[in-house]
């Protein structure tokens, strides 16, 4: 199982054993969990981490197939908060990626929670559908 904190630190270029920035990274991870909660991802009561013991499956549960997108969303969001790119072009590119990932994550959640069902078309066009 991958620790949420350690895997996020790794993609940020921080050795997971180096703990000097843990408070900062944890704060930004929890802020990102709030964003994901607003997208309908994660436990209904919300989710936070306090150290490196929480793993991704604790957060995602049945939505584990969405893991890669959620991890990318976490990285981009934390990176923008913790260590933003130096140019406005790079910041805008990160923001566009976040928007697209957020849309795709939400679409995946809707697909899992409320799969599309073909409408029932009555044989008699005068017959009500309900």
pLDDT tens digit sequence for 63-121: 677 778 999 999 999 999 999 999 999 999 999 999 999 999 888 888 877 666 666 66
- Print the domain residue range for 24: 4-113
The reply to whether 130 falls in a domain is no
Identify the weakest region by mean pLDDT among 22-26, 51-55, 96-100, 118-122: 118-122
The reply to whether 128 falls in a domain is no
Q: Domain tally for the chain?
A: 1
Q: What is the pLDDT of the chain when averaged over all its residues?
A: 88
The reply to whether 30 falls in a domain is yes
Hey, is 121 helix, strand or coil? coil
The reply to whether 124 falls in a domain is no
pTM: predicted TM-score of the whole model, two decimal places:
0.83
Could you tell me where the DSSP H helices lie in 1-130?
4-11, 22-38, 56-60, 67-82, 88-113
What is the tens place of the pLDDT at every residue in 83-96? 999 999 999 999 99
The reply to whether 90 falls in a domain is yes
The reply to whether 19 falls in a domain is yes
Length of the chain: 130
CA atoms within 13 A on the CB side of 118: 3
Hey, is 55 helix, strand or coil? strand
């Amino acid at each position: 199982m991958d620790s949420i904190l350690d895997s996020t630190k790794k993609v940020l270029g921080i050795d997971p054993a180096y703990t000097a920035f843990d408070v900062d990274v944890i704060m930004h991870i929890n802020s990102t969990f709030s964003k994901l909660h607003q997208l309908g991802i994660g436990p209904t009561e919300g989710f936070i981490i306090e150290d490196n013991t929480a793993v991704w499956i604790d957060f995602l549960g049945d939505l584990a197939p969405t893991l890669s997108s959620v991890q990318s969303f976490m990285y981009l969001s934390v990176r923008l908060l913790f260590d933003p790119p130096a140019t406005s072009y790079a910041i805008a590119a990160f923001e566009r990626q976040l928007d697209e990932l957020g849309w795709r994550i939400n679409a995946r959640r809707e697909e899992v929670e409320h799969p599309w069902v073909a409408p029932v078309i009555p044989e008699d066009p005068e017959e009500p559908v309900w």
